[in-house]
Structure 1
Amino acid sequence: MLEDSALSLVFLVFFLAGTVICVCGVKMTGLADLIADRTGLGEAIVGGLLLGAATSLSGTVVSVSAAWENQASLAFSNSVGGIAAQTAFLALADLMFRKANLEHAAAEVTNIVQGILLLMLLTLPFAARLTPDITLFAIHPVSVAIPAIYVIGMFISRAVREDPMWTPVRTPHTRTDTPDEEDHGTEDKSNFRVFGEFAVLMAAMGLSGWFIEQSGSALAQRLDISTSLVGALMTAIVTSLPELVTTLAAVRRGALQLAVGGIIGGNMFDMLFLPAADIAYRDGSLYHAATNEDYFWVASAMLMTTALLAGLVVRERRGPAGIGFDSMSLLIIYAGTIALQMTVF
């Protein structure tokens, strides 16, 4: 009876922390759209950088705290599993947007550039895995390369937005990223207050991430299941719920570039989990401590990112079930990855 009560308490903590993450995610979407309009940075940039980083904070806490406790598989799979889950969320958003294929309507060169950068970042863990286990102060060189490429990529994205060398063909379904003429009841909010509220929500999500890691680790031990499975299909999905909530909320608001940019940007920021976790992991290289089961999710994330990029370039207006071939591919790849994870590994 005592064991059952303890397990129920762990599930309750896991659920409550996930709920806090979802609520904060909804509120952050409106603030991010407002920040994009007031700063003039645009939805793709704000979605990819500010909103993507903020909604990924809880996942960062999960990976870092797991690595600090020498749970390399949980730290690694939480990061890459979250990327796969968040990319699949775009297919759900596409189902919600009935006017046309989401990737067609949200045409934006900045999102394509960031998608290419994400694909580049995803290859680096494989490069680390296939090279000798060389570290400096227990930190692998790839953990320096990933944030460096991320920062460079942000400057490239900004430059592409300000001076694009090509633009997508306009169609009746293409949604242009233009600032709202009105702040919809937020005119009395100063920029300081808007950024302050955003920061408070980020802090709440970060604390929730710590509770997710603690309860997720406890569930893995009590249920006797692999930490890779817990990381990829439990903590990763729960900490990725803000991306689902903010994506659906952005689509509902008509902020389509923000929706797509938030997912791609969140995925890029999720790659920063790995260097942070590698620093926290004191027993050597995190990339070599991770298992083949963990790297299977890296391969899945690469396939899904490729399908998404294809959709952003081809821009199919409408496909099966009212969504594009890219969204259908995302659902098939993700479902197939879960099935193989459950049966093969």
Structure 2
Amino acid sequence: MFASLSTPILFALGGLAGLIILVTGYRMTGLSDQIADRTGWGEALVGAALLGAATSMSGTVVSLTSALDGRASLAFSNGIGGIAAQTAFLALADMIYRRANLEHAAADLANVFQAGLLLLLLTVPLMAFTAPEVAFWGIHPASVALFALYAYGMRATARLREEPMWHPVSTSDTRADEPEDDEEAEKPVGALVVPFLILLVLMGLSGFAVARIAAEISDRFDLSDTVVGATMTAVLTSLPELVTTLVAVRRGALQLAVGGIIGGNTFDTLFLTLSDIGYRDGSLYHAITADDLFWLTVAMMMTAVLILGLIFRQRKGIGWESIGLLVIYAGALAVQVL
């Protein structure tokens, strides 16, 4: 369908899909904050489990659609490139939060644990890439391991919320996770979940359009699927994470902002599980290129820097970890593009 369209129309449709993704992500932030208040689950857990997974819907559809089309690099780099882009967005949020360092103010055990879980999950595809090619019904065991680790990690995160074994030191700059006292907070959970699900469907449809448009652009301009996936679709489908993070910071929901990024990144590793299932020409991990592996190591490096920042908790100003994240991401884009 998209092959018959002119290039300007193709880019216009891509921009429209991106706008829909942006607007739905904006609305999801407020709903997630209210759901966190009404359920008592907390901003960090809701950000990681609900908002993080929901805002990744468009990216999920892009990776799965690409894998079904046999485009392993596009499927892989979209997910991993999205993790790198979204982590860089957290650095931007730190820059606009002027009261204190964002990682200091949003101190929460669940976010630290989720970041560690993310780093663990990112080592799984690297191990699969370097190990002998094995697949059962076309699915690599690493894909099953990713899902199992993610499921266990989310369960452990909920347990940490209920029975934490340590607490971050509270300071005058630490922002506590407290329910908002407004009319919206009185809405029943069901009235919040239904519009949330509708937005989720819209985001998924937009992701499907982005996948088809990206594949057409890659073919039309003879571009590498890795470049398109890591720099175009990854950024486009990560727009919800950008807007939800900035909106959450503006609302004062700092744990939700940080948890949404980290939780979204953790969920994005499951792109690889779905992509491996959808890719029918063997193991996805052995169909990728060195350029795809490059973005995997970039995501791992940025996650490690984020973990150190969450633990160190610089109190004032833009965190050194934020500067480091932007430098790593900008350097990676320069290496990939140039």
The partner residue of 1:312 within 310, 313, 322 is 310
The aligned counterpart of 1:114 is: 114
TM-score normalised according to structure 2 size: 0.98
CA contact (8 A) 2:121 2:146 kept: yes
CA contact (8 A) 2:38 2:185 kept: no
Deviation at 1:5?
Answer: 6.4
The aligned counterpart of 1:78 is: 78
Measure, in 1, the Cα distance between the counterparts of 2:240 and 2:62. Answer: 15
Residue ranges of structure 2 left out of the alignment (5+ in a row): none
The aligned counterpart of 2:237 is: 239
Q: Does 1:341 align with 2:326?
A: no
Measure, in 2, the Cα distance between the counterparts of 1:179 and 1:190. Answer: 14
The aligned counterpart of 1:278 is: 276
The partner residue of 1:327 within 305, 322, 326 is 322
Deviation at 1:85?
Answer: 0.1
Measure, in 2, the Cα distance between the counterparts of 1:5 and 1:57. Answer: 26
| Paired AA for residue 207 in structure 2 | G
- RMSD over aligned CA atoms reads 1.2
Deviation at 1:317?
Answer: 1.3
Where does 1:262-277 land on structure 2 (aligned, <5 Å)? Answer: 262-277=260-275
The aligned counterpart of 1:149 is: 149
The partner residue of 2:289 within 288, 291, 295 is 291
Deviation at 1:181?
Answer: 2.5
The aligned counterpart of 2:133 is: 133
| Paired AA for residue 25 in structure 2 | G
The aligned counterpart of 2:203 is: 205
Measure, in 1, the Cα distance between the counterparts of 2:5 and 2:201. Answer: 30
Q: Deviations over 1:93-123 (max 9, x none)?
A: 0011001110010000110000000000000
Measure, in 2, the Cα distance between the counterparts of 1:128 and 1:157. Answer: 26
CA contact (8 A) 2:38 2:188 kept: no
Deviation at 1:9?
Answer: 1.3
CA gap of 1:131–1:81, structure 2 versus 1, over 3 A, is same
The aligned counterpart of 1:63 is: 63
TM-score normalised according to structure 1 size: 0.96
The partner residue of 1:216 within 189, 209, 214 is 214
The aligned counterpart of 2:255 is: 257
Count of matched residue positions in the alignment of Structure 1 and Structure 2: 336
Query: Identity of aligned pairs, percent?
Result: 56
CA contact (8 A) 2:42 2:177 kept: yes
Measure, in 1, the Cα distance between the counterparts of 2:15 and 2:337. Answer: 23
Measure, in 2, the Cα distance between the counterparts of 1:161 and 1:326. Answer: 25
Matched residue SS, 1:166: coil
Deviation at 1:182?
Answer: 2.5
Q: Does 1:99 align with 2:94?
A: no
Q: Deviations over 1:50-90 (max 9, x none)?
A: 00010000000000000000000000000000000000000
Q: Deviations over 1:230-281 (max 9, x none)?
A: 0000000000000000000000000000000000000001000000000000
Deviation at 1:221?
Answer: 1.1
Deviation at 1:4?
Answer: 11
Measure, in 2, the Cα distance between the counterparts of 1:108 and 1:176. Answer: 9
| Paired AA for residue 341 in structure 1 | Q
